[in-house]
Amino acid sequence: MTRRRMWRDVVLTGVSAAALLTASTAVAQTNDATPSIAETDPATVPIDPAQQSGDISTSDNGASDNSVGPDIIVRGVRGSLLRSIQAKRNADTIVDAISAEELGKFPNRNVAEALANIPGVTVGRDGRGEGRSITVRGLGENFAITTLNGRILPTDGTDRSFAFDVLPSEIISGAEVQKAVRSSELEGSIGGNINLRTARPLDRTGLHASASVEGQYNDFVDKGGYKITGVVSKTFANDTMGVMVGASYNKYKFRTDNLGEYSITDGTEAAYGVDFNRDGQVNPDANGPAYIWPDYYSVGTVQGERERIGAAGAFQWKPSSNFELTIDGIYSRYKVTQHNYRSSNYLNPLGDDGSLRWDPASIKVDSNNVVTGFKVNDLVSEVLTTDEPRNSQTYQFGGHIDWQPTARLKVAIDGYYGKARDDTGGQNRFVVAGIPGASATFAARDGGIPDLDITIPGGRTLDQATNDDFRAHYIGIQGQNIEDRTQGAKLDLTYEVDNDTFKSITFGGAWTDRRKAVETIDNQYTTSCNYCGYPFTFGQLGASVVRPGSGDILPKLPGNFPRNFPYFDIDTYLAALPRADNNPAILDPNSCLDATGTPIPGCTLSPYPAGFSTQIIQPDLPASYLIKERTWAGYVQFNLAGPRWRGDIGLRLVSTKVSSTGYGASIASIIPRVGTQDNDVNFNPVDAINGGGDYLRLLPAVNFAYDITDGFRVRLAASKAISRPSFGELSPAKDATSAQSGTFIIYDAGNPNLKPTSADQFDVSFEYYPSNRLALTAAAFYKHITNFVSTVPVDVVITPTAQPANQQQNFNFVEYQVINGDSAKVYGLEVGGQYFLDNGFGVQANLTYNHSRATSGNVTTGLPGAIPFSANTKLLYEKHGIGAQVSYSYQSRYTYAQSGNLGYLPVKENAYHEMSASLSYDLTDNFSIYVQGSNLLGSAIKRFNTYENVPNFYEYSGRSFFFGIRTRL
């Protein structure tokens, strides 16, 4: 940042301050603005009688209560919604919130899905039936930061975005999405700051407890699961101390069917020697039209089991109104075991020897130059199995002190330490077997999965294949040990001035230190391709590896694609391979090739040597990295107020230093493996690549709220904000191992010198609260984003350093480079409301319109992840001990990625519909039973490469149902 830009921001802030102070004189009125209130009881909400307007509140059993007193208590769903509106109304800036219905009972089963009820918030699903990530106002998950009690949460993934599925919802008492910026708040978010809260024992005095036992069922899974939760809160020492402990245990099975990989490529008729458009000639122009076709087609099912343990605890001590100490912490262990069974097929028109595999008379092309049909011969029909475990542990603990040493000075001190780990290095396995000599007929299908009718030798269907058909091939064993450590401290001081307009000054500083280490362990450079080329069948080994198909893949989806195919488990596959070691009946086809891949004259093939089947797993440095990031921030904020207005204006100065270490290895040689599309790739010694840098940013922020009338408020906000690059994007590592499988792509080409994405943003919000029955809100926002990070494919030519003279010398690679892109503009409108009737019925609804344009290279699209239109609605009934809800959410089609396999074809995700429902009944004041259902519409995730007949991804997880009993004290 130049000194000139910094002073420009200071001047702009000064101008904004002058305007705000001038406005304070113009809008002075007789009534005071509504003061801020402390966070309310997580299980109840006091209703202000002055705002009641004849409302009738509802207790747990649904009985009417017309009494008028200082506190009228409302519980359940209605109480949760009222607390959310109260939090929004009393916030110092533009905030939306959700709150627990009672102790240990969050509104939704998953924290991410609960946040999706907030205007402008959409949830990203993990493909296993759960919400995992959050997008705020159309900006991707890496544009938001997630904190717990105001502290940065460590993550078990490779980037900054928090995986919400690791946290049981029962240990969360509330969440806020702060959409506008204050100088006193943590920086790093353009989309929104998501702050989760755990319960506090002094929120409710006395003894309180809740527990539940639940059964779970999915109509796509043979067996269900269960969950047990409990929360206890107790105060003592005359209610000056309190302890809260909560825990949850959940275990369940899942299944997901999907089109997991559909890679596309393109080429001209001149490059491939193919008459794609069937006009009777091959166009000799190398720059002629490019035709698009599927390269890899992989469809299958993912099945597994999840186990999640979560716990939270807090201790509070408040000996006087001037001092309060809080110590709290959370722990989560999330273990996933899953197996992925797939039919995978390489459909390129040319074989390894350059000969045409497609039947020329079968080729069909549409007006977009998309190949919509062909018959392919000499196909290797592959079946693969992957084991994809996840072993995540996350914890964080911290302490907070609120102290008022004098009547005018308030001091807040906070410190924390957290760590997240995922220990799966060398535990992910990707194992392939294939049937050479097969054939298939392909036909594109608009809006669905293309047809792929496979015939194996002997004129049989794929489901008829046996151990005598499947041949050993690729064995990939890898995985990452990820560790993310976060620690930080914050000091905030507020000095009350109270001289009419100028009420107080808040100032302080913050320090954060984060360390993300990713260690990859695999066999990529050792034994992964020992059996590439399909050298023998399992029948030749006398081993029984292949099992009959487990069922109908994607049964409700039309199409003629592999639905029921044989599969194998990886342990059985690996256990069979030693039978080939030193076996005279099994000969190594590569035993008579020299180092250049040239046959040795007069050589006789020999068996595999003893121990050849042993898999050698070792650290993979080119796929590993270490990122260290330290930030210092200081701020000053002036808090202002008048008779009907309040506001703040401030500056935050942030210094960030990044240190990045990655690894790379240049290619020594690439030698094709005879009879396959695979290559024997040798790499030079690995070298460390160090990088990093630092940057300084001055971030001004202004917030203003004015009560036009009682219950009708307008808010204005303007600020400059930043979002830091993800850790994976900062890694300098480069990985070209895909060349082993014939795919010349360089992944992980990160950039340690990336700068943060910046945004100038403006917000206006209108809030109308005529009574506790009704709340209406509307907000508009605009963001001008610069320097956003994007991944672009770049053509590069690689010349191996020690390539044999009789081999190809240069290779065309595509390198996916991470760069600071051009700019983007995002603006939108959010509208929401809720209304309650005396008869127990209520409705909550919101909608969001979002428009964005982003440019990266020569491609201009909507900003990736920015959903143009989304809507949520909830109908509820709560009375006479009955609680019922029906919720519906909609997300329109949007740009998922600006480029997929082809840089000029953006990936689009189709509209998504989600419906859920729940019904509960209070057996007594302390016991209730309930049943819930999610994804009742049976929706699926569908992505396409721009055109509806060129899919990118398809995933369906089934409908889920839950039933249980809950008790509270």
- Residue count (the chain): 969
| SS3 of residue 371 by DSSP | strand
User: What is the Cα 617 distance to its own chain's centre?
Assistant: 29
Q: Residues 6 or more apart from 459 whose CB is under 8 A from it?
A: none
- pLDDT for residue 854: 73
User: What does the DSSP 8-state code read for residue 809?
Assistant: -
Most distant CA pair in the chain, distance: 105
Q: Average pLDDT over the chain, rounded to whole?
A: 85
Report percent pLDDT > 90 for the chain.
55
Q: How far apart are CA 591 and CA 607, in angstroms?
A: 8
Contacts of 928 (CB under 8 A, 6+ apart): 881, 883, 920, 921, 922, 965, 966, 967
Rounded CA-CA distance 447/408 in Å is: 65
Q: Which amino acid is at 247?
A: A
Q: What is the DSSP letter of 69?
A: S
- Among 130-144, 695-709, 820-834, 872-886, which is the least confidently predicted range? 130-144
The predicted structure's pLDDT at residue 51: 36
Q: Look at residue 354 and tell me whether its pLDDT is greater than 60.
A: yes
CA 382, CA 388: separation in Å to the nearest integer?
Answer: 19
Rounded CA-CA distance 315/233 in Å is 10
Amino acid letter, residue 764 = V
Token couple for 467 = 């151990």
Q: How far apart are CA 50 and CA 56, in angstroms?
A: 13
Strand partners, 921: 882, 929
How many alpha carbons fall within 13 Å on the CB side of residue 549?
Answer: 18
- The pLDDT tens digits for 67-121 are 333 444 456 778 788 888 888 888 888 888 888 777 777 777 777 777 877 888 8
308 DSSP β-pair partners: 250, 334
DSSP letter for 547, please. Answer: B
Query: pLDDT (tens digit, 9 = 90+) per residue, 423-453?
Result: 999 999 999 999 999 999 999 999 889 999 9
Give the phi and the psi of residue 82 in degrees, each rounded to 5: -65, -40
In whole angstroms, what is the distance from residue 33 CA to residue 39 CA? 18
3-state secondary structure of 271: helix
Q: For residue 628, which of 687, 723, 694, 688 has the smallest C-alpha distance?
A: 694
Would you say residue 336 has pLDDT above 70? yes
One-letter amino acid at 487 equals Q
Q: How far apart are CA 521 and CA 319, in angstroms?
A: 53
Residue ranges in 613-658 assigned as alpha helix (H): none
- In terms of Cα–Cα distance, which of 649, 539, 506, 496 is closest to 22? 649
Distance CA 471, CA 457 (A): 13
Q: What is the 3-state secondary structure (H, E, C) of 399-433?
A: EEEEECCCCCEEEEEEEEEEEEEEECCCCEEEEEE
Model pLDDT, residue 728: 80
Q: pLDDT value at position 745?
A: 79
Q: What is the pLDDT of residue 241?
A: 96
Give the Å distances, CA to CA, from 71 to 62, 75, 660: 17, 12, 55
Statement: residue 41 has pLDDT above 60: no
**Mean pLDDT along residues 598-602:** 86
